[in-house]
Amino acid sequence: MVKALEQKLLKHNIKPTAMRVLVLDYFNSLSAAISLSALYEEFDRSDRITLYRTLKAFEAKGLVHSIDDGTGAPKYALCEANCNTTDHNDSHIHFHCDSCERTFCLQKFSIPEFDLPTNFIQQEVKLVVNGVCDQCTA
């Protein structure tokens, strides 16, 4: 298991340190995106700066993407397999549950392309759906 995690880090040109392997393993177990504060609570014996730098390295190398779900703190989720340093593909819809405060990647639902007016240059599109998730409605 550790070897597979190390290989995934190396594939993204990330040096596989013990902390990075632990954080990647934790991300693999998640069903929703996570904030730095929540990650810090899970790794309470770790340094917050180290966790922050780990997330930023993962994001820069296309391993995770950040989500602005309107809560004021970015959340992080694993990227799709085809993401890399130069082509960060997270153009899917995100869902934020107003009840449990979790944010989910809905990768089956792509953000549509927009035909912008002349000389308008699209740099980023974010789409967050707010509502109540399936676990909170059950």
Pick out the residues of the known binding site for Zn(2+). 97, 100, 133, 136
**Contact status, residue 74 vs residue 67, Cβ threshold 8 Å:** yes
Nearest to 71 by CA among 40, 29, 37: 37
Q: How far apart are CA 2 and CA 15, in angstroms?
A: 13
Which residues carry a binding-site annotation?
A: 97, 100, 133, 136
- Phi/psi region, residue 28 (left: phi>0; alpha: psi -120 to 50; beta: rest), is alpha
Distances (CA, A) of 131 to 25, 70, 94, 98, 100: 29, 13, 11, 6, 10
Residue found under tokens 């340093």: 85
The residue type at 55: L
